[in-house]
Structure 1
Amino acid sequence: MGVQKKISIEVTVHDTAEELDGSYRELMSMAVNARKKAYAPYSKFSVGAAVLMENNEILEGNNQENACYPAGLCAERVAIFYAGAKYPGMRIRAIAISAAALDHKVSDPVAPCGSCRQAISEYEFKQKEPIKILFMGETGKVITCNSVADLLPLGFNSSYLE
């Protein structure tokens, strides 16, 4: 008979982005700006992401859709892959995400999808340091996690391949 274990996470919930500390407020503002430039003609659901690097540079990404649906990419992966391409080996401190829909108001925080969680997890494992994740909708509350492990417990990484 197995032993049952409980896995719990802890997040911080802010009522608005204005409650964030200065650098994270700027990071979220850049994610909102990136969201406004998303290419989302099919889903009409725009997402922006901003990545804070250890050199304090902020890199943006947004979702890029394609008529052949699986060919598009989410904002989080666009931003984090850009960070990895521009600064290979440099640590990522945080990623902020904002989402909005064309046909309705998105006021609840929108967390990264499973594929994006896995991609962020890869970078976190590679750099051996957590990546803070902040996410919100178009307006309203912001949720902050200290690591992707808060969103993807029992995650898969390259240590299983050795």
Structure 2
Amino acid sequence: MKDISITTKFTAFDSVADLSDDIKSLMLEAIAIRKKAYAPYSKFRVGAALLLDNGKVVLGSNQENAAYPSGLCAERVAIFQAGAVYPEAKIICMAITAASDTNTTAAPIPPCGACRQSIAEYEFKQESPIEIYFTGEIGAVYKSDSLKNLLPFMFDKNFL
């Protein structure tokens, strides 16, 4: 038997204001699209903005449904839209923001497990990491240089 140790590294910014101008702009687009989320059941709104290597920005917000499994998270809405419209483009980075209609989200909100797996698929497909910035409604922004920090034991096509 042996122990396996996994170390992850994140960069923490005090707020959106502390981001570089290009990332701040991307996060502001994520905030704007978050406000358009369709979240009548959870009252939890998420916005995602992807910057592609062709310079395009693709947006997504969560879309709920009374039949809960039929809804889709903001990150997957944006990733699947990028894959459908720009199939050859690489995702350089993504900005994610989440807010509740019922209380203030003051901590960085990372992608859920299903979204992590979808991001992993695209990192694997494009053979390059995706920078991920995530925040709540207010407060700190965390940056991960790759999804591997959020999902160190990634499942990919090599296991199939």
TM-score by length of 1: 0.97
- 1:74 pairs with 2:73: yes
Match of 1:38 in 2: 37
Report the Cα distance in structure 1 between the residues aligned to 2:56 and 2:17, rounded to whole angstroms: 21
Give the 3-state SS of the residue equivalent to 1:78 in structure 2: helix
Structure-2 separation of matches of 1:71 and 1:12: 34
- What is the distance in 2 between the residues matched to 1:5 and 1:158? 23
Q: Confirm whether residue 136 of structure 1 aligns to residue 113 of structure 2.
A: no
Q: Which residue of 1 aligns with 2:23?
A: 24
Q: Hey, what does 1:52 align to over in structure 2?
A: 51
Aligned residue for 1:112?
Answer: 111
Residue type matched to 2:59 in 1? Answer: E
Runs of at least 4 residues off by over 6 Å? none
In the alignment, the residues of structure 2 paired with residue 96 and residue 122 of structure 1 have an alpha-carbon distance, to the nearest angstrom, of: 18
SS in 2 for 1:97: strand
Shift of 1:22: 1.2
Structure 1: runs of 5+ lacking an equivalent: none
Distance 1:54 1:129 in 2: 11
Separation of aligned partners in 2, 1:152 and 1:50: 20
Partner SS for 1:76? helix
User: What is aligned with 1:92?
Assistant: 91
Q: Helix, strand or coil: the match of 1:39?
A: coil
The whole-number CA distance in structure 2 between the counterparts of 1:110 and 1:88 is 28
Take 1:59 and 1:137, find their aligned partners in 2: how far apart are those partners? 20
Report deviation, 1:56. 1.5
The offset of 1:4, in angstroms, is 1.1
Q: Kindly state the Cα deviation for residue 89 of structure 1 after the two structures are TM-superposed.
A: 1.8
Residue 61 of structure 1 and its aligned partner are, at CA, apart by: 0.2
1:4 aligned partner: 3
Q: How big is the shift at 1:123? A: 0.2
How many pairs does the alignment contain? 160
Deviations 1:117-149 (A, max 9, x none): 000000000000000000000111000000000
Structure 2 counterpart of 1:64, one-letter code? Q
Q: Specify the SS of the correspondent of 2:133.
A: strand
Provide the aligned C-alpha RMSD in A. 0.6
